[in-house]
Amino acid sequence: MQRYYTRACNFYYGNKSKFLLSKKKTLCLSGNKLISFDHIEIISRNSKKKISIKKLNNLPKDLKKKIILDLKKITSKKKNFAKLNFKKIPNILGVLNLTPDSFSDGGKFNNKNTATKHAIEMFKAGANLIDIGGESTRPGSKAINVKLEWKRINKVLKFICKKVPVSLDTRKAEIMEKGIDLGVKIINDVSGLTYDNESVNILKKHKIPFVIQHSKGSPENMQNKPTYKNELLDIYDFFENKIKFLRSTGIKHNNIIIDPGIGFGKNLKHNMNLISNISIFHTLGLPILVGNSRKRFIKELSGRNDSKNRIGGTVASSIYLMMQGVQILRIHDVNELQQAIKVFKELLKH
């Protein structure tokens, strides 16, 4: 039988969602009554068909059985973990780069005072966690050794972990373990746990929540003409296989977040297809994180090359992602995004 994938679509938000759910016209996403949907898209490697959830009975028996299993995953309630609240969409990871060479804010916050001030400001503005990293993984960047990465983040991490909830952005098992010992809540590995073979053992040992990100190639070469047979389905398969692998190693908890890795081994076409069809990843049954903030696709669409001033594109894409049920956004400009979301949600009430 041909492989089919299920994508929830045609979402409703807020009071409209609650009303339609009460009339049994929609299904809630992840057990959250504030967002629901009434259509699905059935996708294969060579076809795509959108149908109303009311018409599931018209499908062939085997396909209907598969879709119903997918809908159970899509609608299953997500348990909160690591200061993330899945009744609230979106949660926000505030970006704090302690690097001299990150693409939009390198060198801006890499001392204890400026880093702490910025972390607390983002937390007060509404970030659920502060995502701290000491190694740039921008396109073209080269890996640094453990000693240098730890030197960049050590003192700041020790101090900030006492002040606000922290997510640690690292590819290295040794850094992960040191960060966990200091109290970080989540490990965020942009390599999808492929850079350091010991990473999975550290995550299993400490039973800590973590992010699996998809990345094609290394930061040094990932933007050298990346290709896919079908980026959306290839990346879905990557996550499905990675989750099976993690289960086989003994990691049984569901405190796992998936991130399709916008800009990590993807061109503009790949990124746009992923963002516009992002809700397919709900079928994996895990929370979705997207790092859209200040990314290159904003420059490519707007025609303006200013990596420090892409707030407009960040806000527009963030609200789109929120309306597709994406549970977590990784954001530089936390205050500005929170302002936009508050206004948008208030307008939905009228």
> Which are the contacts of 231, defined by CB distance < 8 A and separation ≥ 6?
266, 270, 273, 274
Distance CA 80, CA 257 (A): 12
Q: Of 330, 342, 345, 349, which one is the catalytic site residue? A: 330
- Annotation says 162 is catalytic: no
Measured over the CA atoms of residue 91, residue 83, residue 138 and residue 198, the dihedral's sign is: negative
Report which of 176, 268, 263 is spatially closest to residue 217, judged by C-alpha positions: 263
Q: Are 109 and 96 in contact (CB under 8 A)?
A: yes
Q: Which amino acid is at 336?
A: E
**Contact indicator for 52, 342 with CB cutoff of 8 Å:** no
139, 129, 136: which is closest to 153 by C-alpha?
136
Given the residues 295, 296, 299, 308, the one annotated as active site: 295
Query: What is the token pair recorded at 309?
Result: 């001033």
Nearest to 237 by CA among 281, 178, 181: 281
Place of tokens 């307008």: 347
Whether 330 sits among the annotated catalytic residues: the reply is: yes
Could you give the residue numbers annotated as active site?
295, 330
